[in-house]
């Protein structure tokens, strides 16, 4: 493991923790097309809060690293990647408004790498895709842009990302890494690279396609299981049975899986299944279970909003022009990530009823929420202001300490999406 210089393409929730980890042992160049992101990182500031400022500053370099030094240099100039020989692509793989995979970021990243690729280099993809994308879509771009021959002049690998945003316990080095390569020699080199920094170890597989498939089913499995308990919550609501109590009782059996109902957002669980769905359809197979699970989870925001309104009607809380406070907007607790958050669906449907909705989230970045969703966050909770309805959408630690009764008017509704508030305060929950 000598004469290695690593380039990380994409410095978001996946790329930055990876860049920091590799920089503790190797010279690393972190590349991102967002200039403001690069400038903030150069100052040792990570707005995603995945890497602490202290840790980031401990590996920062103000110059391009040589092969004999360790550390991390940030740049938005593709030419700075020229001297690297391992390229790790960690860019987003979203879906469009029709839930079709959008590989544009992956294509552009491949073109960027292709322009600086040299003989003997290895390009490793971490972005979540369906089986075949790396070698069928990305490698041809690398070959065309570089003029090099695949598996003769340059090689490829795939090691699916396993970052869990906001999780400070299961950090990148503590999660076993699946690895693969386009030839046996490339596979060994890819595995050795990760093995040198991943303390949890690696799990080499026989092909890039197997590695791609392993990633896309991880989140699809979770999506289906959450869809199942979401459907159970709808059934039990009709039967006037408390879903949380049922799950707690069933959970006393050793092999019962502890999934809970809720909103399924984020850049992984709510997106990745569509990549597998599209691939299956390309081969003439209709993945009914996966599609139905997606349909259930994608409509939970609307379902929750309608449940809130029904509660208001039952308690004679006027709907039109009611003052509603939604607590939380990020897709999960104690994390600033608002990508594909389904809380936006709750807000949208409540507004469709003519309700005045205030959204408070101390973790979310107001500018990002405004730009992406057109929603203005409330800067703080005004002392003395009373709301007709409170909806706890995200279980941030700050919200668990709130005195909810002090925030509501005399006749009110409290809806607990996460099932974590004092039951005496709550009128309804999933």
Catalytic (active-site) positions: 268
Contact 190, 214 (CB under 8 A): no
* Cβ-based neighbour number of residue 359 at 10 Å: 24
The answer to whether 9 touches 29, Cβ cutoff 8 Å, is: no
Count Cα atoms within 13 angstroms, Cβ side, for 109.
29
Q: What own/partner pairs with CB < 8 Å and gap ≥ 24 does 169-175 have?
A: 171/17, 172/17, 172/18, 172/21, 172/198, 173/21, 173/197, 173/198, 173/199, 173/200, 174/199, 174/200, 175/200
The 10 Å Cβ neighbour count of residue 398 is 16
Nearest C-alpha neighbor of 178 from the set 151, 206, 154: 206
In which residue are the tokens 């459907």 written?
231
| Token digits of residue 398 | 């700050």
- Please choose, from the candidates 386, 384, 385, 344, the residue with its C-alpha nearest in 3D space to the C-alpha of residue 361: 344
Q: Of 351, 371, 381, 345, which Cα lies nearest the Cα of 263?
A: 345
Q: How far is Cα 179 from Cα 400, in angstroms, rounded to an integer?
A: 40
Burial class for 89, CB neighbours closer than 10 Å (0-12, 13-18, 19+): buried
Q: Report the distance separating Cα 300 and Cα 231, nearest Å.
A: 10
DSSP output for 74-114: EES-GGGGTT-SEEEE-----B-TTS-B--HHHHHHHHHHH
Which residue shows structure tokens 């390309």? Answer: 282
CB 213 within 8 A of CB 221: no
- DSSP assignment, residue 53? H
Q: Which residues contact 153 (CB under 8 A, 6 or more apart)?
A: 119, 120, 146
Token pair, residue 53, equals 């400022």
Token code pair at residue 299? 């409509």
Tokens for 321, please give them.
């022009």
């Amino acid at each position: 493991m000598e004469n290695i210089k690593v380039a990380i393409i994409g410095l978001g929730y996946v790329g930055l923790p990876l860049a920091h980890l590799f920089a503790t042992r190797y010279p690393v160049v972190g590349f991102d097309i967002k200039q403001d992101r690069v400038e903030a990182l150069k100052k040792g500031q990570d707005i995603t809060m995945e890497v602490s400022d202290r840790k980031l500053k401990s590996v920062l370099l103000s110059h391009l690293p040589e092969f004999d030094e360790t550390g991390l240099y940030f740049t938005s100039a593709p030419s700075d990647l020229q001297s690297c020989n391992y390229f790790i692509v960690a860019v987003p793989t979203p879906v469009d408004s029709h839930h079709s995979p959008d590989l544009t970021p992956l294509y552009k990243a491949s073109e960027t790498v292709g322009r600086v690729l040299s003989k003997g280099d290895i390009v490793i993809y971490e972005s979540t895709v369906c089986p075949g994308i790396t070698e069928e879509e990305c490698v041809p771009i690398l070959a065309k842009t570089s003029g090099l021959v695949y598996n003769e002049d340059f090689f490829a690998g795939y090691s699916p990302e396993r970052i869990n945003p906001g999780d400070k316990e299961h950090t990148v080095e503590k999660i076993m890494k699946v690895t693969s390569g386009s030839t046996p020699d490339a596979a060994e080199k890819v595995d050795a690279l990760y093995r040198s920094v991943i303390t949890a170890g690696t799990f080499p597989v026989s092909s890039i396609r197997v590695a791609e498939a392993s990633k896309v089913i991880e989140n699809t499995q979770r999506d289906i299981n959450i869809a199942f308990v979401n459907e159970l919550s709808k059934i039990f609501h009709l039967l006037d049975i408390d879903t949380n109590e049922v799950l707690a009782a069933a959970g006393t059996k050793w092999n019962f899986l502890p999934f809970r109902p809720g909103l399924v957002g984020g850049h992984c669980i709510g997106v990745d299944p569509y990549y597998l769905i599209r691939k299956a359809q390309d081969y003439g197979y209709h993945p009914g279970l996966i599609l139905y699970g997606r349909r259930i989870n994608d409509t939970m925001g609307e379902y929750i909003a309608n449940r809130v309104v029904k509660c208001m009607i039952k308690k004679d809380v006027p709907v039109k022009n009611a003052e509603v406070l939604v607590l939380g907007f990020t897709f999960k607790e104690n994390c600033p990530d608002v990508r594909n958050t389904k809380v936006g669906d709750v807000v949208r449907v409540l507004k469709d009823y003519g309700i005045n909705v205030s959204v408070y989230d101390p973790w979310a970045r107001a500018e990002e929420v405004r730009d992406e969703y057109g929603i203005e966050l409330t800067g703080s909770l005004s002392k003395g202001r009373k709301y007709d309805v409170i909806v706890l959408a995200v279980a941030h630690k700050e919200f668990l300490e709130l005195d909810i009764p002090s925030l509501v008017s005399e006749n009110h509704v409290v809806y607990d999406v996460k099932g974590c508030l004092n039951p005496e305060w709550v009128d309804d929950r999933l």
